[in-house]
Amino acid sequence: MAEKIDRRVKRTRRLVSDAFIQLVLEKGYDGVRIEDIIDRADVARTTFYTHFKDKSDLLQYVADVFRKASKENLPNIQLDDQGLPSVEQLTRTFRNVSEHAHFFQVALDSNGMPKLYHEIHQIIVEMVEVLITNHAAETGQEPAVPVSLSAHHFAGALLSSIKWWLQEQRIYLIPPEEMATLFVQMHRYSLTTA
């Protein structure tokens, strides 16, 4: 019985967060009211407040879901000899962006939610710091650039590339594999030895 309740909770939270993301795309974060979210998700007001305190709490939930998914993928990412994730690993990243395009459009929109952008940027920074630190420990090669600087640079470049890809329907013109290849070509310099 607990599993059924857990599935219902997940389903309700997904419905509400999906409605929220769609509405932010249409109206901007400040233009979205709780009533709009409830109507779009087709849930009762009490249901919304059972799961979320307010719109800010819902925003934090969306960021936490992204953080959890990112951390689950971290063990599968390795840096190559140049200190970059492989094209295959970056292809998975761009496929994920493609599958969750609305989420990333909201997160990377300058009129959207700066708090969400900051959360995503920080999540990527933390992941890259772990990757660089692990790579240095495995290879015995000390990074020439401070780890934090490299991680911030990579996160900014990745998010900027994703934003560019989502604009003007490029996501439909450039497949994830090609976008990953382009990103690697732009970053021939290693995160760990640049």
Residue-wise pLDDT for 42-60, tens only, equals 999 999 999 999 998 998 8
Residues 73 and 37 in one domain: no
| Lookup result for tokens 């932010």 | 24
Residue-wise pLDDT for 87-111, tens only, equals 888 898 899 889 888 888 888 876 6
Q: Sort 145 into a burial class: Cβ within 10 Å, 0-12 / 13-18 / 19+.
A: middle
Residues 98 and 180 in one domain: yes
Residues 112 and 132 in one domain: yes
CA distances to 16, 49, 62 from 23, in Å: 11, 18, 14
Average pLDDT over residues 157-178: 93
Residues 24 and 76 in one domain: no
H or E segment to which residue 90 belongs: helix 87-99
Residue 140 · residue 170 · CB < 8 Å: no
Q: Sort 152 into a burial class: Cβ within 10 Å, 0-12 / 13-18 / 19+.
A: middle
Residue-wise pLDDT for 110-167, tens only, equals 666 777 888 889 989 998 898 889 888 888 888 888 999 999 999 999 999 999 999 8
Q: What pLDDT is recorded for position 70?
A: 75
Going by C-alpha positions, the residue among 171, 169, 163 that lies closest to residue 121 is 163
CA distance 33 to 55: 8
Which residues are paired to 85 by β-bridges?
A: 79
How big is the chain by its Cα radius of gyration, in Å?
A: 19
Confidence at 2, pLDDT banded by 50, 70, 90: low
Residue 62 · residue 23 · CB < 8 Å: no
Residues 89 and 158 in one domain: yes
Give me the number of domains the chain comprises.
2
What domain range is 179 assigned to? 60-194
Residues 67 and 163 in one domain: yes
CATH classification at residue 2: 1.10.10.60
Residues 91 and 176 in one domain: yes
Residues 13 and 89 in one domain: no
Q: Is the pTM of this model over 0.85?
A: no
CATH classification at residue 136: 1.10.357.10
Going by C-alpha positions, the residue among 126, 127, 153 that lies closest to residue 74 is 127
Q: What pLDDT is recorded for position 194?
A: 47
